Amino acid sequence: MDITEREIEFRVNGTSHRIQIEPHRTLLEVLREKLHLTGTKEGCGLGDCGSCTVLIDGKPVLSCITLASEVEGKEILTIEGLVTGDSLDPLQEAFINHGAVQCGFCTPGMIMTAKALLAEKKHPTEEEIRKAIAGNLCRCTGYVKIVDAIKSVVEDKE
Amino acid sequence: MLRLTRCDYLAPETLEEALSIIVKEREGAKIIAGGTDLLVKMKRREVHHKKLVGLKRIPNLDHIIEEGDHIRLGPLVTHDGASRSLILRKYVNLLAEACGDLGSYQIRCMGTVAGNICNASPSADSMPSLLVLDACIRILNQEGERSVSLNQIFVGPFKTSLRYDDMVTAIEIPKPPPGSQGVYLKMPKVTKKDETLVGVALLLRREASTGKIERVRLGLGSVASIPIRAKETETFLTGKNPEDPRTLAEAKEILMREISPRSRADYRRHITGYLFEEGLRALLSKSS
């Protein structure tokens, strides 16, 4: 079968990229292997665990089951894009301060999902926070400190 | 890294162009909407498609509009989009609720209602609501465009009556009669984001003067090989007083005969009866 590479153009963390990809590559593969943004993790690879969550035009999506061919013209935000200069995002600070990180593997996805929630809803309730991160699995923390960390960012805004 | 096997990707700019590709390629090409089911099946090597036909470059396929006595959803409306739609919230809130409570946040933002139909899972969460709302789907193929009732689409678990060249171009939902109240309740298998064990949608209209049931629709997910309507239960309930405990008990008996869950059958039956009763109670408290 004759399959040619496609050229796609999209923005990642504010920077435009125009790259050649094979049509069956996922966004996760392109982020990690072409752009070397290895903050986005592969857990299950099948859309169940949320580790690969990035934002596309502000919405949380699973980059392991997103075709890179489909992000043409879109704005992608990954965990690397949350840092401004030397300052971490308030969510990143909160995760550190609350001990919401243990092995750390779920953390980028968890923070990106929380970022989407907070952009959409300024003052989510604890129930809304829990519902939003239901698709981000953490096998270390038991979630309590993660929820506390996200809540603290909400409270700081008040 | 878990990778897809090699395949091509095509991005037509119109529906007609998309149609001509799937006609030309026959079974070799597959339309991809949200991809949340399709790409997982491909990664698991359960299916392979030589070419994927993406619709994302075709403008305006994620519209939700009112058209006279209907509401129309484009084929790329996501569950997240449906759950936020003011039009759906106003006329068919049970569908908006079902879409807002399905899977995970990410899956809601990616997966589409039309894709949920085409995937034809017996447990698909938007189906019981769409069935009680008498939804139709618009289908475009080489012979033209037609409307088909949703209840004619499902033929078995993950099997539809759609042909290789059939393309869903819209979902049409008649606005329910004024005064109708609807609800969708579900029980997931384990945690909140898991697959649905039983889903129950109810749409009810009571006579204003007597309080009797004038019109009722009952849709069920995950209790048969396809999403179903419980038509005998609906017929039985019509004209009855829904607050009479004997009516409720008899309706549940009929309902148990209409469902045919396979695995965990006793538990699913129990939960079906429970959710039906809870749903009816929720609607009665709204309408009284």
- Whether the CB-CB separation of A89 and A82 falls below 8 Å is answered with yes
Ramachandran category for residue A58: left, alpha or beta (phi over 0 → left; psi -120 to 50 → alpha): left
Q: Does B21 contact chain A (CB < 8 Å)?
A: no
Q: Does B4 contact chain A (CB < 8 Å)?
A: yes
3-class SS string, B86-119? HHHHHHCHHHHHHHHCCCCHHHHHHCEHHHHHHH
Nearest CA distance, A99 vs chain B (angstrom)? 24
pLDDT digit string (tens) for B155-214? 999 999 999 999 999 999 999 999 999 999 999 988 777 889 999 999 999 999 999 999
- The residue to which tokens 């239901």 are assigned: A134
The pair of three-digit structure tokens given for residue B5, joined into one six-digit string: 């096997």
Taking an 8 Å cut-off on Cβ atoms, the answer to whether B105 and A3 are in contact is: no
pLDDT at residue B193, as a whole number = 78
* Sign of the Cα pseudo-torsion (B174, B177, B178, B179, in order): negative
Chain A residues with CB inside 8 Å of B107's CB? 47, 62, 135
Q: Does B191 contact chain A (CB < 8 Å)?
A: yes
Measure CB to CB from residue A61 to each of B50, B57, B106 and give the nearest one.
Answer: B106
Three-state SS at B247: helix
Q: State the complex-level ipTM.
A: 0.97
Give me Rg for the CA atoms of chain B.
19
pLDDT at residue A25, as a whole number = 98
pLDDT at residue A158, as a whole number = 63
Chain A residues with CB inside 8 Å of B56's CB? 70, 72
Chain A residues with CB inside 8 Å of B9's CB? 6, 23-24, 67, 69-70
Taking an 8 Å cut-off on Cβ atoms, the answer to whether A24 and B54 are in contact is: no
End-to-end CA distance of chain A: 58
Q: Does A47 contact chain B (CB < 8 Å)?
A: yes
Taking an 8 Å cut-off on Cβ atoms, the answer to whether B5 and A134 are in contact is: no
Q: Does B39 contact chain A (CB < 8 Å)?
A: yes
pLDDT at residue B286, as a whole number = 81
What is the residue-level pLDDT of chain A in tens, covering all 158 positions? 578 899 999 999 999 999 999 999 999 999 999 999 999 999 999 999 999 999 999 999 999 999 999 999 999 999 999 999 999 999 999 999 999 999 999 999 999 999 999 999 999 999 999 999 999 999 999 999 999 999 999 877 66
pLDDT at residue B192, as a whole number = 76
Can you list the residues of chain B whose pLDDT is less than 50? none
Q: How many Å apart are CA B79 and CA B100, to the nearest integer?
A: 6
- Whether the CB-CB separation of B213 and B203 falls below 8 Å is answered with no
pLDDT at residue B58, as a whole number = 97
Residues within 8 A of B (CB atoms), A 82-121 only:
113, 116-117
pLDDT at residue A157, as a whole number = 66
Mutate to test the interface with A, among B43, B101, B106 (most CBs of A within 10 A): B106
pLDDT at residue B27, as a whole number = 83
